[in-house]
Structure 1
């Protein structure tokens, strides 16, 4: 009986979320990840007692991105990143609770470290009067 109640309650929540009378559009999210597998190269690793063994190293290379846009909750954000060896580049943006949008472009590598350029774009919010 408990399982039937849970199923019915879940159905009601889904229907209410889709057809609720709030007049807001649907939210969505998307993502993709690309991993580039290279050739494995042997690396000699020294152990605790001076004995070594072989391990394998693959050149790190990947890309990923995601996006969330839900105007009902105000959750709007995105990010993308690319790594090739020791170099990482990317950007992300998000809408903050005060209505501004924060955008960050970043870059990192073993020679210059991590650097980020942060910008804020303020949108003017005009309050609506309800009569």
Structure 2
């Protein structure tokens, strides 16, 4: 659990900066920013790759996320096992010229559960 939190935290910080740059809300990549006499240096060409996956047979939670950034180009894919048994796949790209674009696919046929509360989890926690 701790590893996922650290990776997610690092990703969210980097992605928030990237989105701020796209929207013009103070995100900054490259150069220096001065805050109250304190200069911060930023990477002129940010680059990263990350991935994580969760497979919990007890709860049925299955998901994974892969993303990479090279300068102003971000692309990634995430998958999520839905409660109805289908799998959602989202492929996305983002850059400062085209913004965020995603294509969503649904794989599989939904399961019918005959009124069972809680979907594939059967209502048990």
Q: TM-score per shorter chain, which class?
A: 0.5 to 0.7
Larger Rg: 1
**1:43–1:54 CA contact under 8 A, matched in 2:** no
**1:67–1:78 CA contact under 8 A, matched in 2:** yes
**2:34–2:40 CA contact under 8 A, matched in 1:** no
Instruction: Tell me what 2:21 maps to.
Output: none
Higher helix proportion, which one? Answer: 2
TM-score of the superposition, structure 2-length normalised? 0.57
Report the RMSD for the aligned CA atoms in angstroms. Answer: 3.4
Question: For structure 1, which runs of at least 5 residues remain unmatched after alignment?
Answer: 1-29, 36-41
TM-score of the superposition, structure 1-length normalised? 0.55
Shift of 1:54: 5.8
Question: For structure 2, which runs of at least 5 residues remain unmatched after alignment?
Answer: 11-29, 114-125
Q: In the comparison of the two structures, how many residue pairs are matched?
A: 89
Instruction: Tell me what 1:57 maps to.
Output: 42
> Is 1:98 the equivalent of 2:84?
yes
**2:79–2:90 CA contact under 8 A, matched in 1:** yes
**1:44–1:53 CA contact under 8 A, matched in 2:** no
> Is 1:71 the equivalent of 2:57?
yes
> Is 1:43 the equivalent of 2:28?
no
Tell me the SS of whatever aligns to 2:109: coil
Cα separation, 2, equivalents of 1:56 and 1:84: 18
